[in-house]
Amino acid sequence: MMRQYELVERVKRYNPAANEALLNRAYVYAMRAHGTQKRASGDPFFAHPLEVAAILTDLRLDDATIVAAVLHDTVEDTAATLDEIRELFSPEIGALVDGLTKLKRLDLVSKQAAQGENFRKLLLAVAADVRVLLVKLADRLHNMRTLGHMPAEKRARIAQETLDIYAPLAGRMGMQELRDELEDLSLRNLKPDVYETITQRLTALSQKSERMVETIEQDLTAKLAAQGIQASVSGRLKKPFSIWSKMERKSVAFEQLSDIFGFRVVVDTLPECYAALGVVHTAWPMVPGRYKDYISTPKQNDYRSIHTTVIGPRSQRVELQIRTQAMDEIAEYGIAAHAHYKEAGGRQEGGMHPRLATESGAYQWLRRTIELLAEGDSPEEFLEHTKLEL
Ligand code: GDP
C-alpha cells in the first residue's frame, strides 16, 4: 500500500507548490475512516482510493482532485460526512466528493437496463466540475484492474458498462491511454479466450519482430535527419482490443491483419510535421484511404496529428502518427493537459484552471452533450445516439 510520503512525493514531482499538509490530512482522514474495511480481494480497502489517486498523479492533476480521489469513498462507505469534509478540507473538495458519492450510488443500482439513465445522471453530476469525471474514470480503471475477484456475472456486467460508457467517455476526453487500457481490460473480462489468443499471438510476434521495429525506427530517424528534421520515432505493436475490433469489423482472422505496427513521429514544429510526411511518402508508398490530417482539422477532443499508413520495409504495412511535442502532450493527457499547460506550451504552476479547461474542445463537447440531455431525449435513445457519436 502506498505510504503517506509516497503520495506527497508523487504530487510534488510535477507540482512543487502542492499543499503537503492538505494531502497528509486527506491520507490520515481516509485511512482512519476506512479502518479495517477490506476489498473483495482481501486487500485493505484504503489501498483502493490511494491507487485511484496514484493514477491521477500520472495525469498530473491538481491537489483538490488528488485529495478528492483519496476521499472519494468515505462518505458512502464510512461514518465520514460531507459537512466534515467541507470543513476539514474545503468547499471545493466537498463538492467534488459530493459528485463522486452521487455517482457511487448510481453504480450500486446499475443494471443493464438502467444504463441510459445512469449515463444521463453521470453527465449531469459531472456538469458541475469535469474533475469529477476524471476521478470517476480513474476509479473505474482501478476497479477494472482488480476485477478478478468478482463473481463472473458481475465482472461481465461491469466490463460491458466500461466498454459502452466509460471507455468512449475517456476517448471523448482525449485520454487515449486510459481508454486503451479500459478497452483491453473489458475484452479480457468479456471474452477471456479471445483476449488470451490475441495476446499470445502478439507476444510471439513481438519476439519475432523486435528487430523489425528497431530497424524501422532507425531507418525513419535517419531519413528524417537527412532532410534536417530532428524527430523522435517510436514503434510498437497494437493493443489486443484494437486488433480484436478490427478483426470483427472486417471479419478477418488474425493472420490476415496487415497493419499491426504503429509508429509515432514527434517533431518540433508544425511545418516539420508536413515535411516529415513528405519524407515518409517519398520513402514508401502510402495506402490509399488511410491518410487523415487531424492537424488541419483537429478532432473534437482536441487531438491533433497526421495519420498515414505506408507499405514499409519487407512489404510490411506500417501505421504512422506524425505530430509536434505540444500535440503529443494533448494526445497523452487530453482534457487533463489543460490543467498544466499554457497555450504557449509553458509549464503552469499546477492546478486545474477552469478557464483553460472550458476552452478545450473536449469540455465543449461535454457541455453540448449535457444540453442535449436537458432537452429531454429519453435516456435509451440518448445512449444510442451517443454511442454512434462516440
Ligand atoms: P483514423 O482511422 O486514422 O482516423 O484513426 P483510428 O481511429 O484508426 O486510430 C488510429 C490510431 O490513432 C489509434 O490507435 C490511436 O493511437 C490514434 N488516435 C486516434 N484518435 C485518437 C485520439 O483522439 N487521441 C489519441 N491520443 N490518439 C488517437
pLDDT tens-digit map of 140-152: 999 999 998 899 9
Which residue has the CA at smallest separation from atom 18 of ligand 1? 176
Residue 168 has pLDDT above 70, yes or no: yes
Which atom of ligand 1 is found nearest the CA of 239?
14
d(CA 42, CA 27): 20
Between 35-44, 131-140, 272-281, 339-348, the lowest mean confidence (pLDDT) is in: 339-348
pLDDT-based confidence at residue 225 (cuts at 50, 70, 90)? very high
Are 312 and 318 a contacting pair, CB within 8 Å? yes
d(CA 346, CA 318): 33
Burial (CB < 10 A; 0-12, 13-18, 19+), residue 178, is buried
The proportion of the chain whose per-residue pLDDT surpasses 90, expressed as a percent, equals 58
Residues in the chain: 390
d(CA 97, CA 29): 14
Any residues with Cβ below 6 Å from ligand 1, and which? 174, 176, 242, 292, 299, 301, 303, 307, 321, 331
Between 80-94, 151-165, 248-262, 338-352, the lowest mean confidence (pLDDT) is in: 338-352
- How many Cα neighbours within 13 Å face the side chain of 220? 31
Element (H, E) at 319: strand 317-324
SS3 343: coil
pLDDT of residue 109: 55
Write out the E strands in 181-316: 232-237, 261-267, 292-293, 306-311
Cell numbers at 97, concatenated: 466528493
Q: Is the dihedral of CA 117, 121, 124, 130 positive or negative?
A: negative
pLDDT of residue 358: 60
Task: Please give the CATH superfamily to which domain 4-190 belongs.
Answer: Hypothetical protein af1432 (1.10.3210.10)
d(CA 110, CA 117): 9
SS3 323: strand
Which atom of ligand 1 is found nearest the CA of 294?
4
Residue 281 has pLDDT above 50, yes or no: yes
Q: Is 360 left (phi over 0), alpha (psi -120 to 50) or beta?
A: beta
CATH number for region 192-340: 3.30.460.10
pLDDT of residue 199: 94
Cell numbers at 146, concatenated: 482488480
Pocket of ligand 1, candidates 175, 301, 305, 317: which has the most ligand atoms within 8 Å of its Cβ, to mutate? Answer: 305
Residue of 374, 373, 333, 372 whose CA lies nearest to 356: 333
Q: Indicate the pTM of the whole model.
A: 0.86
pLDDT of residue 130: 81
Are 231 and 217 a contacting pair, CB within 8 Å? no
Which tens digits make up the pLDDT trace of 43-55? Answer: 999 999 999 999 9
Residue 108 has pLDDT above 60, yes or no: no
Between 119-123, 199-203, 208-212, 240-244, the lowest mean confidence (pLDDT) is in: 119-123
- One-letter amino acid at 373 equals L
Which atom of ligand 1 is found nearest the CA of 330?
26
Report domain extents, the chain: 4-190, 192-340
